[in-house]
């Protein structure tokens, strides 16, 4: 199988489309909430576009992490998160 077709077959299009639609709805909400008629621009909106782009890119990238690796690292990652939450109390 071609590498490029293998790349696209691993992507779940339904999830990507739903995430894209939710991102567009969120972008519209941010735009309408932060639009200023005086300046005609929205700084939060332009920042949010960058965050949405990187978030969708990260979602597609995480899709290629093997499930066995995630299962093997789940418990250590859980304890790392608990440790960091406890450290918040002392810092």
Compute the Cα dihedral for 16, 23, 81, 78 and give only its sign: negative
Give percent of the chain above pLDDT 90: 42
Q: Is the pLDDT of residue 70 over 80?
A: yes
More confident residue, 16 or 25: 25
pTM for the complete prediction? 0.64
Which pLDDT value is given to residue 8?
66
Q: Which pLDDT band holds residue 37 (cuts at 50, 70, 90)?
A: confident
Q: Is the pLDDT of residue 38 over 80?
A: no
Q: What angle do CA 22, 26, 28 make, to 5 degrees?
A: 120
Question: Do the beta carbons of residue 56 and residue 18 sit within 8 Å?
Answer: no
| Sequence-ordered list of residues with C-beta below 8 angstroms from that of 83, at least 6 positions apart, any chain | none
| d(C-alpha 12, C-alpha 27), whole Å | 22
Q: Which of 38, 41, 37 is nearest to 49 (CA)?
A: 41
- Within 35-66, residue ranges assigned H as helices are 43-62
């Amino acid at each position: 199988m071609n590498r490029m077709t293998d790349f696209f077959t691993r992507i779940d299009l339904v999830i990507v489309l739903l995430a894209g639609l939710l991102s567009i709805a969120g972008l519209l909400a941010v735009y309408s909430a932060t639009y200023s008629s005086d300046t005609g621009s929205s700084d939060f909106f332009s920042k949010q576009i960058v965050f949405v782009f990187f978030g969708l890119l990260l979602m597609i990238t995480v899709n290629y992490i093997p499930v066995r690796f995630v299962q093997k690292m789940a418990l250590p990652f859980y304890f790392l998160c608990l440790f960091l939450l406890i450290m918040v109390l002392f810092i």
